[in-house]
Amino acid sequence: MAKAQLKNGPKSNPKVQHKEESESLKGTMASVMFLGFFIIVTWLGVYFLFVDRF
Amino acid sequence: MHMHKLEKIWLIFGLAALIVFLSTIGVSAFYLGNKPPSCLTTVDPEKVDQTAPFNKPGLHKVEGKDWDYELVFVAQAFAYTPTQVTVPLGAKVKVIATTKDVVHGLEVAGTNINMMLEPGYVSEYTTTFDKEGEYLIVCNEYCGTGHHLMSSKIEVKK
């Protein structure tokens, strides 16, 4: 019992859990921003094509 | 509710992008007055040849309007009238078009003049021809066996 508690100890610590969570969202942030910039770049491409033509 | 810091950043980013995109459309429609080419102006498809301005297809100079010329096109299977037209460089032109039979397209390749012509409806697009050159007009709505032969030409020169 004492050993098992020691193993689970750090995981149940809210501070450590929060740190783990913030690290796990970095990849999501990167992919969201990649998709966002892709959408903006293609949108601007079509917009300037429209403005440039008569 | 606990929200992650990065989650807040991408939600704000997404909302800001949405507002910018929608505002652009709003300014285009309500301030610049852009609208779809077919704007509920009607014409009797059986009397197109007798109805102004389609009784005189081609380029006409007009006075006292926001545009300098009116370019009238009549489409039918499988040709446009006129088959060729010359537009002076820099002219502000209102392109007015309709069809006598089935649905046709009127696309001036490489420009924003691109509209669907529906029997009974008049399609219009106002623009300034500010680039010299020869522009091919093609039908981009399948209209029958001769669809691929349907074309016209606009020449923009000084």
The per-residue pLDDT for range B122-140, each reduced to its tens digit, is 999 999 999 999 999 999 9
Rounded Cα–Cα distance for residues A4 and A6 (Å):
5
CA B7 to chain centroid, in Å, comes to 43
User: Which residue from B4, B127, B131 is facing A21, i.e. has the nearest CB?
Assistant: B4
Would you say the ipTM is above 0.85? Answer: no
Note whether A53 contacts B: Cβ–Cβ < 8 A. yes
Which tens digits make up the pLDDT trace of B49-75?
Answer: 999 899 999 999 999 999 999 999 999
> Where in the sequence is the domain holding B5, given as residue range(s)?
1-34
Residue B39 has pLDDT above 90, yes or no: no
Count of domains forming chain B: 2
Q: Are B26 and B74 in the same domain?
A: no
Type and span of the H or E element at B81: strand B79-81
Q: What token pair was written down for B65?
A: 């309007």
Return the H-helix or E-strand segment holding B139: none
pLDDT band for position B108 (50/70/90)? very high
Comparing CB atoms, the residue among A32, A40, A47 nearest residue B10 is A32
Q: How far apart are the first and last CA of chain A?
A: 78
Question: Could you tell me the CATH number of the domain that includes residue B84?
Answer: 2.60.40.420
Domain ranges of chain A: 17-54
Co-location of B12 and B57 in the same domain = no
CA–CA distance, B133 with B131 (Å, rounded to integer): 7
